[in-house]
Chain A
Amino acid sequence: MTDERRRTMDRRTALQTTLGTAALAVSGCLANDENGADFRIGSPWKPNRDPLDGGSTIRRLGITEGLVGVDYDASPAPELATDWERRSDREWEFTLREDVTFHDGEAFDATAAVDSLTRTVDAPAFEDVPIDAVEAVDETTVAVTTETPFAPLPAHLSRNEAVILSPRAVDDDGSVTETIGTGPFAVESFNPNTEILTARNDDYYGQVPALESVRYEVVDDDQTRRMKLENGELEMARILPHETVDALESTGGIDVYTPPVPRIRFLAFDTDSEPFDDRRVRRAASLAIDRQTITESLLDGLVDPAVGPFSPSITEWANPDLESNPYDPDQVRTLLDDAGWTGTAGETRTRDGVELSVEFLTFDARSLPLIAEVMQDHLAAVGISVDVRTLEYSAMIDRVNQRSFDAYFTSWGTLWYPDPDRLAELYHSTAASIPHGYGNDRVDTLLEDARELDERAARLERYHEVQSIVVEDAPIAVVTDYTNVIATADDVRGYEPHPTESHYGLEAISMDGE
């Protein structure tokens, strides 16, 4: 009797479950709405309305523009300013483009530019840029005065924080309510951290885009991005893992781009504490890394080994005389012996009974932990024992800023603004944002001189010398360059990856068959 009742119950439950599931499935199919944009981009980076807070996405999508842009040679180029002139050591004048309107119909003029720039200059992002005053001279001229002679000014004005917003975009309290720029695309709808829908700006002063609308979507997971592209839910998937390149290239209907970007993976040493306070030990650690093996195997040959901060393939600021893979185990052994760290082959070296063992911090991002493990292997081969500790990014930065590390392995954009003055943030004794504690008077002098000079050849000479010195001193050991993997549907025409990723070049893109 009990059994009988249980069986009927089961049947009813089964029926209910089936019906319920079917209803859910049907509604799931119906809810799969078309998101109607011509061109859909999937990327891991979360967009924000305010250019001062992660403004790269809105710039790349062509919503905002600055006075200065970046051309395909990674140099400052005219954007909203047609021209600029260094009138004296500290005085600059920017001539603005006429007949430009913001997306809200407001006219772009010197007053609007000064208002927007003043907000940027007062922000923490521009704290280290010695701008004294930004003033409107007339309708189409903006004058900028710097506190010290400062050659990289145009490069700084090309930064994503220095884009010009419409006066109506900014509230009285200084917060951005709407992203209203001057670019070829205007914001249609904006969900911070998830998606942006943009529409073509038909009044654009330059090349009016072929695409009518673009949808930018945050897709965190690499595999999901790839699958969405393969399923035709995206036209462009950005930042894919290196190991997907072969598979994607053999997939029909997909084009793969692997542009080098000005970014390096490097090991930063704490030069104030043992054992990396000794230049010979730092140099030895750098020479013990077989960069070629790392790039050939782990990075599938898509990335070049690097020893300097700039890649010669991207910018002429790179010192072309640096050897890209200075792997030399014999010299490592000599250097370590000279520094007093001795030991038999295969064992960890010691000095006065202390083992030469260090800790490398890194964070859980793409290939960093994997490369760190290979370096661990390479250093063990010359008698340096390494513990690799993979932390969360913020946890790593905490420890780094407390200076409680031997070395940490990270990646860093070297042309965040297209000027080699960025080297000061790597190597200058007081201006460096990398807490390695390194200081070299000659390097400081060269960097300070080059920052003030106007003449390109004179600057080039100084920056090349800096790059040679720091390879020997090794406050950081650069390990590899960086390559982005971008895949698009193969009916996408006209996409050209930008060297500093300052924009996606959407205005030049068209779709076949339209």
Chain B
Amino acid sequence: MSKSTPELVPSNVGLGGLCRRYRRFALQTNTAIRLGGGVIWLLVLVALVGPVVSPYDPTTQVLEMRLRGPSLAHPLGTDALGRDVATRLAYGARVSLALALAATLVRLVLGTAVGLLAATGGRLVDVLLMRLVDVQLAFPGLVLALVIAGVLGPSLRNVVIALSIVGWASYARVVRGTVLSIKARPFVQSATLYGTPWHRLVKRHLLPHVVNPVIVLATLNLGTVVLAAAGLSYLGLGAQPPTAEWGSMIADGRNYMRSAPWLVTAPGVAIMATVIGFNLLGDGLRDRLDPDHLNDRQRRRT
């Protein structure tokens, strides 16, 4: 794999080429990918199937059944309003995963666009955009997200907006770096000399090479976004009642930490599993997709 050096092959990297390459990767997974992927698939399964098979509604209150411990009827107990925690967890998985995907997608698109513009747009554009990125990276992300979500008012949509606005800078940086190194390659230069228009150059020669690092970054990012979204919801800036969301479930349950510990444990473990899952997957993908990257042990040996 490491000998094939795919970035020197400019041709056949259209959609079909990409598909072929990924099929090859699918066969060459590693433990991290399998483990992380497994956890994530499980979560997706829970998010898709859980609400369908659960006999309960996530918002219907059964006040006489409040704060019951785990039992056969309620495997994860009930909350302060008598709602089934397991059901709410499954609905919460939908919200959390959708939110993480949406925010990451916006970050990715925005960051890639800015990075490409900076790398190909000329010196002034480059300087301006990269200083913007610097400013963005210098500011603590969660604090800025908190401010934005606070100003826009509490809602799930605003959490997506807040998290999208703060996270795109690292994508821009990675994309710009990669594009700059690709741009110096002979195949790009000859394409330029040949008079290839900008959009074709970007689409055919530059973008395919930034896909790998961006995918790795996005996967690693998903975990952070889940965590940040849960954090904002915990602070009351995200999902509003009665919506089930992991962060707000923890916030609701924290007053019952001693009398009903399952209320915070269940969503807490769910958040932890999601973050670990995405991180493992991201690590594994990096080992596969970024062959130039050396892990710590290899680096020490050289």
Contacts and interface: CB of A to CB of B under 8 A. Distances in A.
A298 B241 contact: no
Given A241-B255, A247-B259, A372-B241, 13 more contacts: A2-B300, A297-B64, A298-B63, A369-B241, A370-B80, A373-B61, A373-B81, A373-B241, A388-B242, A389-B240, A390-B154, A391-B236, A392-B236
A465 interface: no
Contact of B240 (A243, A293, A364, A388): A388
A376 B241 CA distance: 9
B80 A298 contact: yes
Given A297-B63, A297-B66, A390-B236, A222 B241 contact: no
B257 interface: yes
Nearest to A227: B258
A322 interface: no
Nearest to B62: A297
A338 interface: no
Interface in B77-122: 80-81
A139 interface: no
A391 B154 contact: yes
A136 interface: no
Max chain A Cβ within 10 angstroms of own Cβ: one of B154, B252, B255, B256: B255
Contacts of A388: 240-242
Contact of A387 (B61, B64, B240, B300): B240
Q: Say which size band chain A's interface belongs to.
A: 20 to 34
Interface in B225-268: 236, 240-242, 252, 255-259
Interface of B: 60-61, 63-64, 66-67, 80-81, 154, 236, 240-242, 252, 255-259, 300
B241 A390 contact: yes
Nearest to A243: B259
A41 B73 CA distance: 43
30 contacts: A222-B255, A241-B255, A243-B67, A243-B255, A243-B256, A243-B259, A247-B259, A293-B63, A297-B63, A298-B66, A298-B80, A366-B255, A369-B252, A370-B81, A370-B252, A372-B241, A373-B61, A373-B81, A373-B241, A374-B63, A374-B81, A388-B240, A388-B241, A388-B242, A389-B154, A390-B236, A390-B240, A390-B241, A391-B154, A392-B236
What 3 A-B pairs are tightest by C-beta distance, nearest first? A297-B63, A388-B241, A373-B241
Contacts of A392: 236
B63 to A, nearest CB: 4
Contacts of A297: 63-64, 66
B242 A376 contact: yes
Given A293-B63, A298-B63, A392-B236, A223 B242 contact: no
Contacts of B241: 369, 372-373, 376, 388, 390
A370 B81 CA distance: 8
Contacts of B240: 387-390
Contacts of B257: 223
A372 B258 CA distance: 23
Contacts of A135: none
Contacts of A373: 61, 81, 241-242
Nearest to B260: A243
Contacts of B80: 298, 370
B255 A377 contact: no
B236 A364 contact: yes
A390 B237 CA distance: 9
A258 interface: no
A68 B97 CA distance: 61
A2 to B, nearest CB: 8
A244 interface: yes
Nearest to A399: B153
Nearest to B248: A390
A263 to B, nearest CB: 19
Contacts of A389: 154, 240
A203 B114 CA distance: 76
B237 to A, nearest CB: 10
Interface in A262-299: 293, 297-298
A223 B81 contact: no
Max chain B Cβ within 10 angstroms of own Cβ: one of A243, A372, A391: A243
Interface in A364-387: 364, 366, 369-370, 372-374, 376-377, 387
Nearest to A293: B63
Contacts of B300: 2
A244 B259 contact: yes
Interface string A221-243: 01100000000000000000101
Contacts of B64: 297
A66 B63 CA distance: 45
A404 to B, nearest CB: 11
A390 B67 CA distance: 22
Interface string A383-420: 00001111110000000000000000000000000000
A373 B252 CA distance: 12
Contact of B61 (A243, A247, A372, A377): A377
Max chain A Cβ within 10 angstroms of own Cβ: one of B64, B241, B257: B241
Contacts of A370: 80-81, 252
